[in-house]
Amino acid sequence: ESPADPKNPKAGKWSFKPRGRLQIDTASVSAPSAIGSKSLGLATEFRRAYFGFDGTIPGNFGYRIEADIANSSIDPTDVYLNYTGIKNLTLTIGQHKPFESMEDTESDLFTSFMERASFNTAFGFERRLGLSAQYQKGMVLAQVGVFTDNVTDLNADTDNSYSIDSRFALQPKLFGGQAHIGGSAHYHDLNDSSATVRYRARPFTHTTDIRFVDTKAISALSETNYGVELGWTGGPVHFTAESQWMKVNRPAGIADPTFNGGYVEAGVFLTKGDTLPYKASEGTWTRIKPRNGVDKGGIGAVQVNARYDWLDLNDNGVLGGRQQLVGASLLWVPTDYVRFIVDYGHLWLKDAAVAAGADRNYNADVIGMRAQFDF
Amino acid sequence: ESPADPKNPKAGKWSFKPRGRLQIDTASVSAPSAIGSKSLGLATEFRRAYFGFDGTIPGNFGYRIEADIANSSIDPTDVYLNYTGIKNLTLTIGQHKPFESMEDTESDLFTSFMERASFNTAFGFERRLGLSAQYQKGMVLAQVGVFTDNVTDLNADTDNSYSIDSRFALQPKLFGGQAHIGGSAHYHDLNDSSATVRYRARPFTHTTDIRFVDTKAISALSETNYGVELGWTGGPVHFTAESQWMKVNRPAGIADPTFNGGYVEAGVFLTKGDTLPYKASEGTWTRIKPRNGVDKGGIGAVQVNARYDWLDLNDNGVLGGRQQLVGASLLWVPTDYVRFIVDYGHLWLKDAAVAAGADRNYNADVIGMRAQFDF
Amino acid sequence: ESPADPKNPKAGKWSFKPRGRLQIDTASVSAPSAIGSKSLGLATEFRRAYFGFDGTIPGNFGYRIEADIANSSIDPTDVYLNYTGIKNLTLTIGQHKPFESMEDTESDLFTSFMERASFNTAFGFERRLGLSAQYQKGMVLAQVGVFTDNVTDLNADTDNSYSIDSRFALQPKLFGGQAHIGGSAHYHDLNDSSATVRYRARPFTHTTDIRFVDTKAISALSETNYGVELGWTGGPVHFTAESQWMKVNRPAGIADPTFNGGYVEAGVFLTKGDTLPYKASEGTWTRIKPRNGVDKGGIGAVQVNARYDWLDLNDNGVLGGRQQLVGASLLWVPTDYVRFIVDYGHLWLKDAAVAAGADRNYNADVIGMRAQFDF
């Protein structure tokens, strides 16, 4: 509304930008027919359908209000106010991501596969209402925040859980490219007398609701988790790997299990001049901008990626199962804001939570396709 | 964000347009008091309250994300990405209308009565997630698509129904006006072992939830339906008629019924210079733009319409009832984006699903009013 | 889309403005532990998270479509079309506020405390679908409307309740400032054979769902309520007070109770040059615009307020309890569109609906904080 004050132009001005994204997914899950579930086979869905606004307010404030309507319900995503009046620092209040991992911090618009690595969903990463500070200067990134729960769970006025979340990274230039060496540490107090946690993951696609690995609900008092992160991008190639350990503090007299997951990924562009960009201020990968987009008469960017992903939900008396997968993906990015993905994964299940007849050790295959745009 | 590329201006540029519509309806249903339902009498509602965005993306892409919040819930309407880089052709992926009929293809903002003809709702026409192609050149329109279900139903990961939908039209200039001669054909496979269908229609207004005609849920494997369409507009007058046949393929040993509905409509403007426009690219009627709108100091456009509408849900062992109605409407369109409607319908029911005491043959009267705007 | 018509510029033109607001609240309720409820203690929530659009349409029309998503559901707020083509008069159709009180008419963005006075929520004030006229000229304001229910309740097609609502005010300049002397009168017919009403209020914060005062559901045929309003603002000081009486017309043979509530408030700015503005066209307080906002290198506006608030839900056989509170608030308004509030209230309960052990007379303390922005 009002322009920047000419005497104090750094205080910012009003801006407003609509935001939206759509991801349409089709995928097929092949698994032993002895499982006997209609959730196998082909399925189609809106993976995400966001819309909202963001912008800036004079006085160095910024805001975002956005929600996902893909499930024909309202699921608030980023809904926050921030302050950028102190150099290199961003203060944020509202619902946002609590710096759980490198891939969780990355926008779902930019991931190399249709879904993030299994541990990201298995360990319950989600946006939460909280207060955080993010500092980035030179080759150092530090993020720290205190959070309560996500706003949907906070509709229960008895929810007084809280967490302290932190993430650090070094961002050196190495071997002619950009490197990322990071880690995160988190403590989450459920702060409620009869709380439980549940860890589980879908098989490489969100179109099915089956989870071959699943701890079911287990009693818990708090969670402590740690992650390590590595990344490198240079020219057409990138490499990235993460692992995370989730320790559950269970009530007195019950052993405390620690679950682990992670992935190793490499990718390369087949189209000349394209690269996977790194966003230093957030410490993660960002939008691919094709050098020769179809809007310039080119064919856009084409990238292939390979990944090994593991998730181990067996420990100390909890038998949630182990899932390993090897996946490959082909991305076609005709313009900055449009993307098509085809990916394929082969899964090895051990001690699966869903039995195939009497068998809990079996394999599965998943093939998926996505059409996506955002603005 | 980015302007059109000067070297390749046809590839399009970024654009963004907010969209919204509001329809406020009040209507009263008079029927024999022996029916004994509180759903009769006066009722008021938001018929539709949409908001969303549409626009274009460089590279000849376009998008729309829109939802209806009239029921205090999110009901995604048009949510799609399209591509217009090939001349005369539009490719669309996402949730959109599967070309069911001429009146269903018409925006609900532009219909001559508050509600479409009974068969449009009775036969379950709705937006679905799919992939379609639309070709229009000269006097030929062709639309074809493959669809699965609407995104709300797709929240069930076991829903793997699909349909093949097609619609064709000739669009000649005839008798000094624009004619439309069209038809559509559809096959819908429920693809599920224990599926049912249900056909029913409200009595000329959406404010009540009573349906005098209703097949109740009947077991089904698939549906095949065909429609014929006629239209003509020239000067102040228009004429339009449609009919559609819905054949239900039921499980082995049960007879397959075919249901039928349709309407015949004529309308005339009382205000000088106004006409009902035809949109060739979609093969249906479009927005009335008053020659002398109130924004120009005039009184806007005034149109009267008359319609006969029938729906027969009795066939081959299914007794859903027969409904006929004669309706009249008065439209006042003060400016392009504001509209008021008053309409009245007299209904004849035979073998009604809702009995008036012991009587299933009776008459009903409905009077309704709508205030509407969109942007 | 189209600019104003040069021959008829007063007819207005197209405009479009996105709207949004976010209020993040944290509050703690201290009450006797004998109450034994987990709803006491600390809680955090999105109090409101609105988004929508408003604007104007050529022909002197205006519109707004807005909804609250704070509860991870869609709650339509202002959704209407209005007409301003007659001088001093605004005609509105759609969902809007039925002129219940001075503080209810005030935007929740501008109230002096985190919550309005108890009677505003206790008496069920809410936006409803209706048709209204608002006239303001010189020092006279008159508002009158007929309404049915809010659109969420109207999803039930049997809801045919209606109300007639009116509010009047004189707006003289007095003692060097702006005065407001007003009143309102309302009749609400439930128009349904087995209807009930329920009056209750949260204790000074919305983060808890406990209500110490609560009539529970009581049978009713209709409601009649009256309010009186006083206000004055000049320089850094303002004063305001209201009281309202709610009479319930109960079925034959049951006594009709009258409940009462109200508040007295005074506030002063600690920062030089700031004042609480009055909006004559709506007859209520409006946005504080700091003279030295942080966007201009200043510290924004700081205001302190004190309030006494009472609510008496005991009368004629109904024992809902009595609640009194004394509250103080500190507002920091760094720029026009950002606000932080800290408030504290001490409550005295008598005949409370929630017993502390055997005791229904006890005290409670509430401290709350809000971070807010809007656009």
pLDDT digits (tens, 9 = 90+) for C30-45: 999 999 999 999 999 9
State how far residue A271 is from chain B, nearest Cα, in angstroms: 18
Closest by Cβ to C22, choosing from A59, A65, A155: A65
Chain B CB contacts of A20 below 8 Å: 53, 63, 65
Higher pLDDT, B224 or B158: B224
| Structure tokens given for A197 | 């946690």
pLDDT digits (tens, 9 = 90+) for A53-84: 999 999 999 999 999 999 999 999 999 999 99
The overall longest dimension of chain A from CA atoms, in Å, is: 75
Query: How many residues comprise chain A?
Result: 375
Contact A87, A56 (CB under 8 A): no
Chain C CB contacts of B340 below 8 Å: none
Q: Would residue A112 count as lying in a domain? A: yes
Closest by Cβ to C335, choosing from A59, A79, A94: A59
Compute the distance between CA of residue A152 and CA of residue A128 in angstroms, rounded to an integer. 9
pLDDT digits (tens, 9 = 90+) for B216-227: 999 999 999 999
State how far residue C308 is from chain B, nearest Cα, in angstroms: 36
Which H, E and C letters describe B27-46, residue by residue?
Answer: EEEECCHHHCCCCCEEEEEE
Question: Is residue B2 scored above 60 in pLDDT?
Answer: no
**Ranges A62-66, B6-10, B241-245: which has the least confidence:** B6-10
Q: What is the pLDDT of residue B1?
A: 33
**What is the residue whose two structure tokens read 């409370």?**
C352
Inter-chain CB proximity B57 and A338 less than 8 Å: yes
Inter-chain CB proximity B79 and A46 less than 8 Å: yes
Closest by Cβ to A22, choosing from B60, B79, B160: B79
pLDDT digits (tens, 9 = 90+) for A105-117: 999 999 999 999 9
pLDDT mean over A347-363: 97
Q: Which of A340, A330, A331 is nearest to A373 (CA)?
A: A340
Inter-chain CB proximity A160 and C375 less than 8 Å: no
Percent pLDDT > 70 in chain B is 96
- ipTM of the assembly? 0.91
| Structure tokens given for A100 | 């759980």
Could you tell me the sign of the dihedral formed by the alpha carbons of B110, B334, B173, B89, in that order?
negative
Question: Is residue A160 scored above 60 in pLDDT?
Answer: yes
In angstroms, the Cα distances linking A274 to A232, A303, A332 are 15, 9, 12
Q: Give the bridge partners for C167, in sequence order.
A: C143, C184
- A332 lies in which domain range? 9-374
**Ranges B9-23, B106-120, B246-260, B277-291: which has the least confidence:** B9-23
Chain B CB contacts of A42 below 8 Å: 160
Closest-CA residue in chain A for B57? A337
The angle formed by the CA atoms of residues C2, C8 and C12, to the nearest 5 degrees, is: 50
Q: Would residue B218 count as lying in a domain? A: yes
Question: Is residue B266 scored above 80 in pLDDT?
Answer: yes
Q: Which of C32, C133, C23, C53 is nearest to C88 (CA)?
A: C133
DSSP letter for B162, please.
E
Higher pLDDT, B194 or A339: A339
Inter-chain CB proximity C151 and B72 less than 8 Å: yes
Confidence band for A193, pLDDT divided at 50, 70 and 90: low
Closest-CA residue in chain B for C75? B72
DSSP letter for B359, please.
B
- Which residues make Cβ contacts (< 8 Å) with residue B181, sequence separation at least 6? B169, B170, B172, B229, B230
State how far residue B140 is from chain A, nearest Cα, in angstroms: 29
Q: What is the total count of domains within chain A?
A: 1
State how far residue C24 is from chain A, nearest Cα, in angstroms: 7
Question: Beta A15-30 vs A362-374: how paired, if at all?
Answer: antiparallel
Chain B CB contacts of A208 below 8 Å: 157
Q: Would residue A288 count as lying in a domain? A: yes
Chain C CB contacts of A95 below 8 Å: 46
Rounded (10°) CA dihedral A196, A202, A205, A210 = -110
pLDDT mean over B309-327: 98
* B120 torsion bin: left (phi>0), alpha (psi -120 to 50), beta (else): alpha
Q: What is the pLDDT of residue C14?
A: 85
Q: What is the pLDDT of residue C12?
A: 64
Q: Would residue A1 count as lying in a domain? A: no
**What is the residue whose two structure tokens read 């029927």?**
B31
Q: Would residue B318 count as lying in a domain? A: yes
Q: What is the pLDDT of residue C8?
A: 47
Chain A CB contacts of B53 below 8 Å: 18, 20, 51, 375
Q: CA C212 from chain center: how many Å?
A: 20
| Structure tokens given for B191 | 């693809």
In angstroms, the Cα distances linking C357 to A143, A276, B252, C40, C213 are 46, 64, 67, 15, 16
Helix (H, G, I), strand (E, B) or coil at A34: helix
Q: Give the bridge partners for C45, in sequence order.
A: C25
Closest by Cβ to A39, choosing from B12, B75, B158: B158
**Residues of B contacting chain C (CB within 8 angstroms):** 18, 20, 22, 24, 38-39, 41-46, 49, 51, 69-74, 207-210, 293-297, 334-335, 337-338, 371, 373, 375
Inter-chain CB proximity A79 and C42 less than 8 Å: no
Inter-chain CB proximity B85 and A39 less than 8 Å: no
Percent pLDDT > 70 in chain A is 96
**Ranges A3-17, A31-45, A277-291: which has the least confidence:** A3-17
How many A×C Cβ pairs under 8 Å?
Answer: 109
Q: What is the pLDDT of residue B12?
A: 64
Q: Which of A195, A199, A202, A95 is nearest to A154 (CA)?
A: A95
pLDDT digits (tens, 9 = 90+) for A266-276: 999 999 999 99
Could you tell me the sign of the dihedral formed by the alpha carbons of A171, A173, A178, A183, in that order?
negative
Most A CBs within 10 Å, among C44, C51, C289, C336, to test the A interface: C44
Encode chain C (375 residues) as per-residue pLDDT tens digits.
Answer: 333 444 444 556 788 889 999 999 999 999 999 999 999 999 999 999 999 999 999 999 999 999 999 999 999 999 999 999 999 999 999 999 999 999 999 999 999 999 999 999 999 999 999 999 999 999 999 999 999 999 999 999 989 999 999 999 999 999 999 999 999 999 999 997 668 999 999 999 999 999 999 999 999 999 999 999 999 999 999 999 999 999 999 999 999 999 999 999 999 999 999 999 999 999 999 999 999 999 999 999 999 999 999 999 999 999 999 999 999 999 999 999 999 999 999 999 999 999 999 999 999 999 999 999 999
Q: What is the pLDDT of residue C193?
A: 62
Closest-CA residue in chain C for B23? C94
pLDDT digits (tens, 9 = 90+) for B304-317: 999 999 999 999 99
Q: Would residue A93 count as lying in a domain? A: yes
Confidence band for A14, pLDDT divided at 50, 70 and 90: confident
State how far residue B66 is from chain C, nearest Cα, in angstroms: 12
Contact B23, B372 (CB under 8 A): yes
Q: Would residue C352 count as lying in a domain? A: yes
Q: Would residue B3 count as lying in a domain? A: no
The stretches of chain A forming alpha helices (DSSP H) are 102-105, 118-122
Q: What is the pLDDT of residue C91?
A: 98
Q: What is the pLDDT of residue A1?
A: 33
Contact A375, A110 (CB under 8 A): no
Inter-chain CB proximity B43 and C14 less than 8 Å: no
Chains that touch B (3 or more CB pairs under 8 A): A, C
Q: Average pLDDT over chain A, rounded to whole?
A: 95
Compute the distance between CA of residue A231 and CA of residue A179 in angstroms, rounded to an integer. 6
pLDDT mean over B48-56: 94
Query: How many residues comprise chain B?
Result: 375
Closest-CA residue in chain A for B63? A373
Contact B63, B232 (CB under 8 A): no
Q: What is the pLDDT of residue A11?
A: 55
The CATH code of the domain that includes A26 is: 2.40.160.10
Inter-chain CB proximity B74 and C74 less than 8 Å: yes
